[in-house]
Structure 1
Amino acid sequence: MKGILLVNLGSPRSTEVKDVKEYLDEFLMDERVIDYRWFFRTLLVRGIILRTRPKKSAQAYKTVWTDQGSPLIVITQQIKDKLEKIVDVPVEIGMRYAEPSIETGLRKLQAQGVDEVVLFPLYPQYAMSTTETVVEKAKEVQKKFFPSMKINYVAPFYNRSIYIEALSESIKENLPESYDMLQFSYHGVPERHLYKTDPTKTCKIGDCCMKDDYPAHPYCYRHQCFKTTELVRERLGIAPEKVVVSFQSRLGKDKWIEPYTDQTLEHLPKKGVENLAIVCPAFVSDCLETLEEISVEGKEEFLEAGGKEFTYLPCLNDDDRWIEVVKTLCMEQMDFSK
C-alpha cells in the first residue's frame, strides 16, 4: 500500500525557553547545518549559542505563535489535510527536527498498512541543510526501523513549470498596484556548503550561476534561487531592473552567499526605492523566518533606512494551486517499480 509523507523543517513544541533550547540543540547540532567537526560544533553550539540564543528566539517565537501552535506546523498540517482530500492514499507529516518526527510520520503510515512511501521534502531548492539532511535522516530512520519499507523522494522543484505558475499567481494576487522593487529573499547558506554539495567540483559561486546547463546546477542552491526568481519574473512580465535577489538568516562570522537581505534592505532606499514588496520563495510555509525576521525586522530595517511602504507577500501555505502542485509531484513518484 502506498502513502505520502510531507516533511518540513520543524519547530519547538512551545515558546518556553527550555523547549526552544531543545529544538535549537537538535537543529544546530546537525552536521549538515553547522558542518564543523563534532567537537568544534559542540563547543560552538552548546558552549556559546545555546547559552544566549534560546531566550531571544523564544521571544521571537511568541510574536508569531498561534492559538493552534507553531505556524509552520499548523500550515503543514493544513497542507496535509487538503492533500488528503484529493488523493486516494494516506498522508502524514514529519519534521526534520522535533515532533512530529520523520520516524513518527512513517510509523503512522505503517500503522495504516503503508509499505511504499513517497517522501516529499518541502523545499523548492536543493541545499545540504534542507533537502539533503531530510533525505539522509529518512534513510537512517528507514534502515533502523523500517527496513522493508520502500521510499521514493520528490526532487527539488525550483524550476518546474507547475510550481512557477502557482508561485507567480500567488505573488501576482498579493503584489501591490504600485511598487518600486520586488525583492526575492531566500534563506542563506555558507558558501562552503555549495562546494561541499557539488560532486562535479565545477562550482565557482559567481557568473556560473547564470549560465545554462552548467554541471553544478542540480546541486547549486544559489543557482536554483536565481533560476526560480528569473522564471517568476518572466512569467509575471516584470522588468529585470525591478527585481532583486538576496539571502537572509546568516549565522556567525563565516562567509555566506551574497547579497545579504539586511544589507539590501538598508541600501535600497538610498537608490530611490520607496515602495518595496518582498517574497521568500525558499519557504513554502510561513514561519519564524518570514513572519518575524522579514515582515517585522525587515520592515523596520527598510523604513528606518528611508523607505516608505513595505509589503510582505505570504508563502504558498495552503493555497489550492500549491496543493495541486504537491499532488502532481507526489503522484510522479508513485511508481515503485522503477
Structure 2
Amino acid sequence: MKKGILLVNLGSPDSTKVKDVRKYLDEFLMDKRVIDIPRWKRVLLIKGIILNTRPKKSAKAYKKIWWKEGSPLVVISQRFTKKVADKLDIPVALGMRYGSMSIKKGIEELEKKGVEEILLVPLYPHYAMSSFETVVEKAKEVNRKYFPTIKMDVMPVFYNKPEYIQVMSKVIKQHLDNFTYDHILFSYHGIPERHIYKSDPTNSHCKIDGSCCENHSRAHRTCYRHQCFETTKGIVKALQLKEGTYSNSFQSRLLKDPWLKPYTDFELERFGKEGVKNLAVVTPAFVSDCLETLEEIAIEGEIQFKNAGGENYKHIPCLNDNDNWVDVMVKWINEWIGEPITL
C-alpha cells in the first residue's frame, strides 16, 4: 500500500478582514469539543453573542501579527511541511482543522498521488479535547465519509518523547544564551477544568489538585494538565534549571467558567509587581507560532509585565520550521513507514 503523511495544525482565517475572521471563529467555536455545551446553547452563545463582537477584536489582533505572505501559522506550517517532504520519499500534505485549508483537501491531495494508507500527524504535543482529539475525530469522520478505502493511522501525542524534549530544550537554550533571566514561565494553552474531568477514562482520578498529576494512572494518557507538567519537567531536567527559577501557567481563557490555573496574564502581572525584572516566556503547547503566541504572549504579555514593573521580557519562539524539529518529525515518520503506529 502506498503510504502518505497528513500533517494537521489548527488553522487560520483567510485574511484579517472581519468577515473572514467571523467565518473562521464560527467554525472553531461551534466545534462541540471546543465549547462543549448543548448545541442549542452553543448556537445562542456563539451566533447570538460572541460572533457579534469578537470578530472585530480578533481581526485587530490578527493585523498586529499578519505577515506579508499571510497567516504566520499557515506560512510556518507550509514551510515545515515542505522541509519534511523534501526529506521523505512519500507524499506529504498539510491540512487544517479549521478554515479553508481543510483536512478533506489534504487527504484529496494525497489520494490524487495514489496514497492508500495515511499517517495522520496532529501537530499538538499534548492531548486535549479541543486540540488533538478534535483533529483525530474530524479526520476519521472525513475518512469514513469521503475516502473509505484509505487506511488511516494516527501518530500519538509526543509531549514526553525524548526527541521532542531535546529539540525544545535546544531551542530554548539558544534563545536564552544572550538573555539573563530571573524566571522562565512555561505558558500552556488553557482549557476549561471540566475538559480534564471529561477526558478522564477512570471518572475518578483527576481532581486538579496538588497530587493527582503526580500519582500514576491510565488517566494520564488523556490528561492535558499532567502532560503539560511532564513537558516542563523534561525541559527543566535537560536544561538543569534551578528550582524556583521556573513555573507553569495557562493562557487564553474564554467565557467565565473555571479554566486551568494559574492564569498567564495574572502571573505576568504578579511577577512584575513582585520584583522579577527579567522574564522569559516559552509556549510548549504550540509547535508553530500563531495568534496566541505572537500577539497574546509576545506583544500583550510584554506590555502586561512591564506595566507591572518588569524590565526585560523575552518571548521564546515555537519550534516552527527549525531544522532539528524537522529531523525529529522525519525520524518518527520513518519509524512508522517501517512499522505502523497503533493506538
TM-score bin (small chain):
over 0.9
Q: In the TM superposition, what is the alpha-carbon distance from 1:82 to its structure 2 partner? A: 0.3
Please give the alpha-carbon distance, in whole angstroms, between the structure 1 residues aligned to 2:340 and 2:226: 30
Please give the alpha-carbon distance, in whole angstroms, between the structure 1 residues aligned to 2:320 and 2:271: 28
Q: Which residue of 1 aligns with 2:287?
A: 284
2:325 maps to 1:325:
no
Q: Which residue of 1 aligns with 2:266?
A: 263
Please give the alpha-carbon distance, in whole angstroms, between the structure 2 residues aligned to 1:146 and 1:110: 8
Q: In the TM superposition, what is the alpha-carbon distance from 1:156 to its structure 2 partner? A: 0.5
Retained in 2: the 8 A contact 1:15–1:58?
yes
Q: In the TM superposition, what is the alpha-carbon distance from 1:207 to its structure 2 partner? A: 2.3
- What secondary structure does 2:82 align onto? helix
Q: Deviations over 1:83-135 (max 9, x none)?
A: 01111111010000012100000000000000100110000010000000000
What is the alpha-carbon root mean square deviation over aligned residues?
Answer: 1.2
Q: Which residue of 1 aligns with 2:10?
A: 9
Please give the alpha-carbon distance, in whole angstroms, between the structure 2 residues aligned to 1:253 and 1:209: 25
Q: Which residue of 2 aligns with 1:30?
A: 31
Q: Which residue of 2 aligns with 1:188?
A: 190
Question: % of aligned pairs identical?
Answer: 54
Q: Deviations over 1:275-320 (max 9, x none)?
A: 0000101100000000000011111000000000000000000001
Please give the alpha-carbon distance, in whole angstroms, between the structure 2 residues aligned to 1:46 and 1:329: 41
TM-score, normalization by structure 1: 0.98
- Which letter does structure 2 place at the counterpart of 1:152? D
Retained in 2: the 8 A contact 1:152–1:333?
no
- What secondary structure does 2:211 align onto? helix
Q: Which residue of 2 aligns with 1:246?
A: 249
Please give the alpha-carbon distance, in whole angstroms, between the structure 1 residues aligned to 2:172 and 2:247: 15
Please give the alpha-carbon distance, in whole angstroms, between the structure 1 residues aligned to 2:209 and 2:10: 28
Q: Deviations over 1:14-65 (max 9, x none)?
A: 1110000000000000000000100000111001100000011011111111
Retained in 2: the 8 A contact 1:209–1:226?
no
- Which letter does structure 1 place at the counterpart of 2:3? K
- Which letter does structure 2 place at the counterpart of 1:9? L
Please give the alpha-carbon distance, in whole angstroms, between the structure 2 residues aligned to 1:209 and 1:241: 22
Please give the alpha-carbon distance, in whole angstroms, between the structure 2 residues aligned to 1:170 and 1:209: 30
TM-score, normalization by structure 2: 0.96
- Which letter does structure 2 place at the counterpart of 1:318? D
Retained in 2: the 8 A contact 1:7–1:122?
yes
Please give the alpha-carbon distance, in whole angstroms, between the structure 2 residues aligned to 1:92 and 1:337: 19
2:148 maps to 1:147:
yes
Q: In the TM superposition, what is the alpha-carbon distance from 1:212 to its structure 2 partner? A: 4.8
Structure 2 vs 1, CA of residues 336 and 214 (structure 1 numbering), >3 Å: closer, same or farther? closer
Please give the alpha-carbon distance, in whole angstroms, between the structure 1 residues aligned to 2:11 and 2:153: 21
Q: Which residue of 2 aligns with 1:96?
A: 97
Please point out which of 199, 206, 219 is paired with 2:209. Answer: 206
Q: In the TM superposition, what is the alpha-carbon distance from 1:67 to its structure 2 partner? A: 1.1
Retained in 2: the 8 A contact 1:209–1:217?
no
Q: Which residue of 1 aligns with 2:300?
A: 297
Retained in 1: the 8 A contact 2:213–2:225?
no
2:85 maps to 1:84:
yes
Q: Which residue of 1 aligns with 2:138?
A: 137
Note the residue ranges of structure 2 that are not aligned, 5 or more in a row.
none
- Which letter does structure 1 place at the counterpart of 2:14? R
Count of residue pairs brought into register by the alignment: 338
- What secondary structure does 2:50 align onto? helix
Retained in 1: the 8 A contact 2:184–2:246?
yes
Q: Which residue of 2 aligns with 1:44?
A: 45
